[in-house]
Structure 1
Amino acid sequence: MMAGKRSAGKGKNPLTAKKGPSQATVLGIIVVVAFAALVGFGVYWNNSSSSTLVPANATAAGVPTGNADAPATVDVYLDFQCPHCKTFEEQAGPTLEELRTSGQAQVVYHPVAFLDRASSTQYSTRAAAAAGCAAEAGVFPEFERLLYQNQPTEGGAGLPNEQLIQLGQQAGAGPDFAPCVDDQRFAPWSQQITQQALRDNVSGTPSVKVNGQDVEASPQAIQQAVAAG
């Protein structure tokens, strides 16, 4: 009788049975997800960095002065509360000015805030932010010199904003300088420069690089490095 017979092909067909994902497939998915996460983080980092307000006549990394097409680039990392930076300005400032005005080198200043801990009012950040205001006003070199000529004692409160504004006006800044200083408009910019300097292995001030190479922070060493190309 046909009704009692069991079909010979009954059961799971190895060609049609469902299988779970292979190990290679799982690993592939993990790699794709991880890559997407990294890309997403990179986009976030770039967007957060690019959202920092940068002064006119400056970049996200500092304040370039002189001819951008000069054959050499001198990077100067300074903290306006640093006594050694004042000495450096007194000794090397004229050399940097000569290199800049003669077209031998572009001088890029990186005002960092390493010494905020040595001030009760975070003077390093306030002075660096004010320097950003000076860059926007087109008077950075003059303001930088005046800050060192009037440098407060390390460990104190630092210059009040009123005096920073007076120095900016003495340097030739216009009426927008005062509210820029009072608002600390470029404080995030100065902090960004500080973090970038640390990533570039700059751990103290003054520090100098010529064409990306560390050199001694002295007029002679800077001149020799620029001449050597």
Structure 2
Amino acid sequence: MSGGARNAKRRQQAEREARLAAAGIRVPQSKADKNRVPMIAAGIVIALVVVVAGGWYWFSTRPVTPTFTATASGAVVTAGTGPVVIDVYEDFLCPGCLALEKRDGNKIITALNDGKLTVKYHMLGLLDARTKPAGYSTRAADASLCAAAAGIYGAYHQKLFNVQPAENSAGLTDDQLVSYGTDLGAGADFAACVKGTKNDAAIKKETDAATSAAGLKNQGVFGTPTVAKDGKRIDINASGWLDTVLAGK
């Protein structure tokens, strides 16, 4: 190779090294360094995969913002205006209800937002005895009915499950229940509603009806969560149950 050709090759190499250095990549000078380059590159690729996968998981599990409307009658909140109607019986202390919310909450809210679904949420005090002092289930159900009147039911429903207290604890205080609603935009009368007892009788009546022989109990032992359509229980153990219901099957 002539001296001119060698000089040209050196200039090209120097320019390449300068570009790599500007990009923050150290140019390997030894054989050992050169062998490390593929390992470093592989590490970068793995890190990118982890970041992308983590980002996908975060976006796929972040709560969907409720935009549907909801109204309360007695202890039943009717959410959405879709043609497919289901009944959901739940208790805000119920671990199974929390599991259902985590798995299917976003799907349900999306169907409600899109006008495909109507959900009749039956507010129950089924697990009142499992807090000390007793009664948290009814107080939380009461607060959710107040949230429906305040126009924040969807977001409040999400919040109460996100902060679900443990069984055999004291449960959330009335002040906490008020604070969560206020943070979500409830008006000044929300506090008085939550701290009152005007919904207690309706909640007890709904709980008694759900657990009576004339209610869903006649289809087996009743518990929360229970989902029904046209008075018949839906098997919610299958993760695709909502798609099946929306498809009219």
TM-score of the superposed pair, with normalisation by structure 1: 0.71
Distance 1:150 1:60, change over 3 A: same
Distance 1:61 1:130, change over 3 A: closer
Matched-pair contact (CA < 8 Å) for 2:74–2:199: no
Q: What is the number of residues matched between the two proteins? A: 172
Distance 1:142 1:168, change over 3 A: same
Matched-pair contact (CA < 8 Å) for 1:58–1:64: yes
Which letter maps to 1:109? Y
What's the counterpart of residue 206 of structure 1?
225
Relative contact order: is structure 1 or structure 2 higher (C-alpha 8 Å, sep ≥ 6)? 1
Specify which of 175, 187, 192 is matched with residue 188 of structure 2: 175
Specify which of 33, 36, 57 is matched with residue 71 of structure 2: 57
**SS of structure 2 residue aligned to 1:228:** coil
**SS of structure 2 residue aligned to 1:81:** coil
User: What is the CA-CA distance between 1:84 and the residue it aligns to?
Assistant: 1.2
Give 5+ residue unaligned stretches, structure 1: 1-55
Which letter maps to 2:124? V
What's the counterpart of residue 52 of structure 2?
none
**SS of structure 1 residue aligned to 2:147:** helix
CA separation in 2, counterparts of 1:192 and 1:138? Answer: 24
User: What is the CA-CA distance between 1:61 and the residue it aligns to?
Assistant: 5.0
What's the counterpart of residue 8 of structure 1?
none
What fraction of aligned residue pairs are identical, expressed as a percent? 35
User: What is the CA-CA distance between 1:193 and the residue it aligns to?
Assistant: 1.5
**SS of structure 1 residue aligned to 2:172:** coil
Structure 1 residue ranges, 4+ long, deviating more than 3 angstroms after superposition: none
After the TM superposition, which of the residue ranges 57-66 and 83-92 deviates more from structure 2?
A: 57-66
For 1:152-191, what aligned pairs fall within 5 Å after superposition?
152-191=165-204
Specify which of 138, 152, 156 is matched with residue 151 of structure 2: 138
**SS of structure 1 residue aligned to 2:118:** strand
Which letter maps to 1:138? G
Matched-pair contact (CA < 8 Å) for 1:129–1:189: no
For 1:2-151, what aligned pairs fall within 5 Å after superposition?
57-67=71-81, 70-121=82-133, 122-151=135-164
TM-score of the superposed pair, with normalisation by structure 2: 0.65
CA separation in 2, counterparts of 1:59 and 1:195? Answer: 16
User: What is the CA-CA distance between 1:75 and the residue it aligns to?
Assistant: 1.0
CA separation in 2, counterparts of 1:212 and 1:120? Answer: 34
Deviations 1:94-130 (A, max 9, x none): 1111221222210111111111111123100111111
Give 5+ residue unaligned stretches, structure 2: 1-69
What's the counterpart of residue 38 of structure 2?
none
Aligned-residue CA RMSD (Å) = 1.6
**SS of structure 2 residue aligned to 1:91:** helix
